[in-house]
Structure 1
């Protein structure tokens, strides 16, 4: 029996807001984490070891997961006997005001008598809406996690308490198992910046990688068989009351969060959009930093943002082959105009792209990638850049973002120019494309400061124009990459390039009208 509906006194819940940083670590390294000098030097008390067996529940159609909720019953085996905890938690409740890289969840815990799910608890007024009464009868066990957890409290300073949990075990779902080897750093007291500081200390001693998927998300992915999907980038939540400093922090958190959220998809390799969105996130991060640099004036941030640019360059070639395979080879293969030798050309393209794909994965998995993200997040959250500037910069950082947003938008818009005709040379064409892209990112940063109806015409005109430029750039990149392939049939290559050129020419004929429309659309910032 998986659940109990017998009426019973409702246990008193312990509600909490959980803030944690997850770090993946190789199984061979996990056991020595708690003995590292950097850990023992910060430890407050002895380590505690427990066996945790957790059963996760949902409806057969995964109603809870679809609504961002996880429900479980955990058995904790210890020297004083077993105890059982029923937990309801949100999968991730992070907002723009929360740090990138950390999972922020609301959690309710109840002590229960055993592994049987107690439905009566879920009628509690505080959480009844999260598990509606009409789905409770359909809740069934979906998967199990079985962990050996070692925990201890770290105190990097007198005001901070961080629980380090080293988890070694498996997720069991759909007849399969997936090993888990990870460190969770949960903030019990203090500032979130200390999580990243401790994460950096650990990562310097043992190679680690930031994790963004919870065990519940991993288990549900195993149940459904669906690979990680690319993560959308939600709108920024800036308001006219947001200060310049808060806006900078929000925008950079947003970029780091988008980068990390798409990592699992990029590593799985099943959807090219994951890698693309990681690169977009890094470009947004750099664009925002260039805007705010005169006010931030941090050599450390400049160095870290430069590191992000180097990472983006390593991801670029893989993205180029992804575009070639999905936007050229795939549609041409499905076309009646596909040349007979196209399968061989496609095989050559896939082979040529495999090396850059491996390099992109290696770049994401490299310790330097995690070190860059942790260091940038720690710097961003520590806030020394906000508390130590000179008087004039401090006043500017404390001013509302509306004091600079329109001026920055005007400056970006001015770089586009108002020439009635588009550039005819390739360098001028590419420079305009890059400037349009920088303008679009700047518009995305600040459009929330203005009424949506007022922003829409300009945003649409800009996006349509930039899409045409980007598509033309992708076609040129594909043409160049395919033409450089050695040993391919020249007739097949010529037919493929001709097909690319025909489609590109159709798009190019639309560009003058898109350009004219863009120039005629008044900026929404006045």
Structure 2
């Protein structure tokens, strides 16, 4: 299993790497040219595998990487590598390397795979390599500078790879944090093969949604903590580039949801694995940065569209929408800058390190822990629901947050519970959360419109009209708190699988 951490940096900082005191002189400098192979229908990619043949010091090296995971930038993948006598794959040799791993042998046994393989893209980099021993860990450090090429399209490569040769994976984070003290870095959650496939498919960065988490029935807490937190970090980081480079509201929304899930997960484990206060503060900071941008997106795309009348005709409403859009775009740029900051990189590296170090210290069953936790959250939800009343907007908000925490907790551990009961519970909580969320959107909208009126006094008239319209709508179309309360009180926790 290959374990490595990938870090992006700007070309102007390459010299700082080459001169860094932690590294010294490179052990070797290589020009590496690799061709990646797949079928026209991308058979290998669809099964989570990448196959390349690379020229290294005059020899052809065939490599297949497959499966594995990425958690907070830490790439863990199966790797099979060996020398071949040509620039084209030798599937027979690859099968011998794979041995008796039936999953990946089956992938290679696809009909006419040998005949259908073709080179799809090329990766050409100059690699500087250092062999570092630090704190009991052996790490291969590589600076890759070059490009990925597909027909007439090129994508630049400028990254550091830290590959663990021997020792503790947390040591990769510790070493990266030392480099970060002197060099601006960003974590990379996609590898060169994935970037090459993006050129092949001519695809951008689609929104990445939370993936189902599959814990074994006998999973321990030491298994569950990195699985749950890693799932949240993947949700956050797989939307990162799209938020920085694009303008799709859904990618920002998904990244913010990922942060909310992470905060909920940290709270779930707080009694057995308390998160350091500095980390909690940085997670809160990230949520605030993304939340500010997301609130304006919701105002622009959802809340203001409820207004079907306006003083002064349609022109006035268009002015308000234009002002809201300008602010939303400015907030999104601020969110992107936060993701490009060293504070964000440090947060992700430190979270990954803490997660790996905290997990082995835990004892006990994940199923038992989840059952106790869900019971506690369920009781808290019912208390919040019982206190809801129309005269206290905060009471509905507290119930919505409690529903969200219960829903996230069951989503983390759902594989340990009977499917039907878990589905019904999640469905009910999601519905309550949505109904109460619409009410909260109007509360947030009023706050944002007041801010806009202060910044844009020339538009005070239409802004005040919009505020009045939404306040009236909130009064005439309130959430049915009694019905929500009754549905929640009738809800029963699902049963653990036997």
- TM beyond 0.5: yes
Specify every segment of 5 or more residues in structure 1 that has no aligned partner in the other structure, as ranges. 1-16, 388-396
* Post-superposition offset of 1:507: 6.9
Residues 375-400 of structure 1: CA deviation (Å, up to 9, x unaligned): 222122134x855xxxxxxxxx4222
Three-state SS of the structure 1 residue aligned to 2:272 is helix
Equivalent residue number for residue 324 of structure 1: 299
* Post-superposition offset of 1:509: 4.9
Matched-pair contact (CA < 8 Å) for 2:320–2:462: yes
| Residue 400 of structure 2 is aligned to residue 412 of structure 1 | no
Q: How many residues align?
A: 481
1:35 to 6, 19, 24: 19
1:142 to 120, 123, 134: 120
| Residue 350 of structure 2 is aligned to residue 375 of structure 1 | yes
| Residue 364 of structure 2 is aligned to residue 399 of structure 1 | yes
Q: Which moved more, 1:114-123 or 1:361-370?
A: 114-123
Matched-pair contact (CA < 8 Å) for 1:174–1:223: no
Equivalent residue number for residue 362 of structure 1: 337
d(CA) in 2 for partners of 1:201, 1:505: 55
1:53 to 33, 52, 55: 33
Matched-pair contact (CA < 8 Å) for 1:458–1:518: no
Equivalent residue number for residue 130 of structure 2: 152
Equivalent residue number for residue 60 of structure 2: 84
Matched-pair contact (CA < 8 Å) for 2:189–2:237: yes
d(CA) in 2 for partners of 1:427, 1:366: 34
Equivalent residue number for residue 524 of structure 1: 494
d(CA) in 1 for partners of 2:83, 2:211: 36
Equivalent residue number for residue 391 of structure 1: none
For residues 166-245 of structure 1, what are the structure 2 equivalents within 5 Å?
A: 166-245=143-222
Matched-pair contact (CA < 8 Å) for 1:30–1:182: no
d(CA) in 2 for partners of 1:481, 1:109: 56
Q: Which moved more, 1:240-249 or 1:250-259?
A: 240-249
Matched-pair contact (CA < 8 Å) for 2:400–2:432: no
* Post-superposition offset of 1:99: 4.8
User: What TM-score, normalized by structure 2, do the two folds share?
Assistant: 0.86
* Post-superposition offset of 1:38: 2.0
Equivalent residue number for residue 261 of structure 1: 238
Equivalent residue number for residue 393 of structure 2: 426
Cα gap change, 1:421/1:263 in structure 2, threshold over 3 Å: closer, same or farther?
closer
Equivalent residue number for residue 7 of structure 2: 23
Three-state SS of the structure 2 residue aligned to 1:38 is coil
Residues 319-365 of structure 1: CA deviation (Å, up to 9, x unaligned): 112223333467989xxxx9454444332222111221111111111
d(CA) in 2 for partners of 1:194, 1:254: 21
Equivalent residue number for residue 104 of structure 1: 76
1:65 to 40, 45, 49: 45
Cα gap change, 1:432/1:25 in structure 2, threshold over 3 Å: closer, same or farther?
same
Residues 189-235 of structure 1: CA deviation (Å, up to 9, x unaligned): 11211111111111112111110111111122223222112223223
Matched-pair contact (CA < 8 Å) for 2:436–2:479: no
d(CA) in 1 for partners of 2:93, 2:317: 62
| Residue 85 of structure 2 is aligned to residue 113 of structure 1 | yes
* Post-superposition offset of 1:179: 1.5
d(CA) in 2 for partners of 1:191, 1:99: 15
Matched-pair contact (CA < 8 Å) for 1:321–1:349: yes
2:321 to 342, 346, 349: 346
* Post-superposition offset of 1:511: 5.4
Equivalent residue number for residue 392 of structure 1: none
d(CA) in 1 for partners of 2:87, 2:370: 55
Three-state SS of the structure 2 residue aligned to 1:184 is strand
Cα gap change, 1:297/1:231 in structure 2, threshold over 3 Å: closer, same or farther?
closer
Equivalent residue number for residue 14 of structure 1: none
Q: Which moved more, 1:286-295 or 1:212-221?
A: 286-295
Three-state SS of the structure 2 residue aligned to 1:281 is helix
Three-state SS of the structure 2 residue aligned to 1:105 is strand
Matched-pair contact (CA < 8 Å) for 1:151–1:163: yes
* Post-superposition offset of 1:162: 1.2
Cα gap change, 1:477/1:398 in structure 2, threshold over 3 Å: closer, same or farther?
same
Matched-pair contact (CA < 8 Å) for 1:86–1:112: yes
Three-state SS of the structure 2 residue aligned to 1:187 is strand
Matched-pair contact (CA < 8 Å) for 1:161–1:190: yes
* Post-superposition offset of 1:117: 4.3
Q: Which moved more, 1:208-217 or 1:227-236?
A: 227-236
d(CA) in 2 for partners of 1:372, 1:488: 41
